[in-house]
Amino acid sequence: MNQEKIEILKQIFPDSFIRKGEEFVCYCPKHTHHKKKLEINLVKNNFSCWVCKWGGPIFKLFKECGTRDQANKYYALIGHAPELKEEEVERIFLPEEYLFLLNAQEFPQGVAALDYLSQYEITEKTIIQNKLGICLSGDFRDRIIFPSFDEAGHINFFTSRALYDSKMKYWSRGRLSQIVFNELFLDWSKPVVLLESVKAYCRHFEQVPNLICLNGCYISKKYELFKKIIINDCPMVYVGFDPEADKESLEAISKFTEYDIPVKQVRFDKQPDEIDSKQFISCIENAHELDKFDSLRRKLWSAVA
């Protein structure tokens, strides 16, 4: 059935290609761009443009492109004009008990939090700029709060780190799929560096621009972060995952190379939060650029090893 859909779409968009057998990729008719940025999902029967964000169910596309006969032939293959549900964006607020960390120095928890951060050379300037906090009571009691702000400066996520022994060292609020961590500080016209941990992010925040904390080592094509990187044609993505996450690093790299985004793998001998910023920058400068074939070879090598 996909082949029949492709034949119909090729009549409308002859300059196109197929990705992974289920994505029809072509130029968007809504704007002029030097790359093919319109994607039509042949399984879900919806479409979207990475640049202008035009998208929706396939019938919206046929309203503006192609003939009625082409549209009817496509609908006959799927039996209907499908609907597309949009994910509701979750509103996030800091805990009511949140206290700015530098205002908590008279409390034992505040002193303990500052001592903990000093082990990772996290400075007062970083604490102020990132609005790090502490909770003395409530659900997040005895936890350091690491907020994230969207491009307009609104809270969109926060994670917390337990000061003392806890079954859950880290505990977060918000959906990682919907946010870009601290987008407020990012310049999409320049390279970005992806990191796993908020500790590494804070340790190198002052010395390395455009850091992005993933709060993990996974990124999906459905993530808002991934979409923003593609939409903005980011000039370079440095994937700086922890040393033990080589497989996850290669998976992330392969996703970016599919969309012609330049990407380099940053290799660390130690955890990124355990090295100083001078060493960290040196690792970035020595990062290796991988193309889609190099990435595939590395994946196969890792599987065999």
pLDDT in tens, 198-244: 999 999 999 999 999 999 999 988 899 998 998 888 999 999 999 99
Residue 31's CB: how many other CB atoms inside 10 A?
A: 12
pLDDT score of 296 more than 80 = no
Give the DSSP H or E segment for 7: helix 2-12
185: buried, middle or exposed (CB in 10 Å: 19+, 13-18, 0-12)?
Answer: middle
Which pLDDT score, from 0 to 100, does residue 154 have? 94
- Condensed to tens digits (0 to 9), the pLDDT of residues 112-153 reads 999 999 999 999 999 999 999 999 999 899 999 999 999 999
Q: For residues 195 and 240, what is the distance between their CA atoms, to the nearest angstrom?
A: 5
Handedness of CA 19, 21, 23, 29 (dihedral sign): positive
Which pLDDT score, from 0 to 100, does residue 300 have? 57
For the whole prediction, is pTM greater than 0.75? Answer: no
Which pLDDT score, from 0 to 100, does residue 242 have? 94
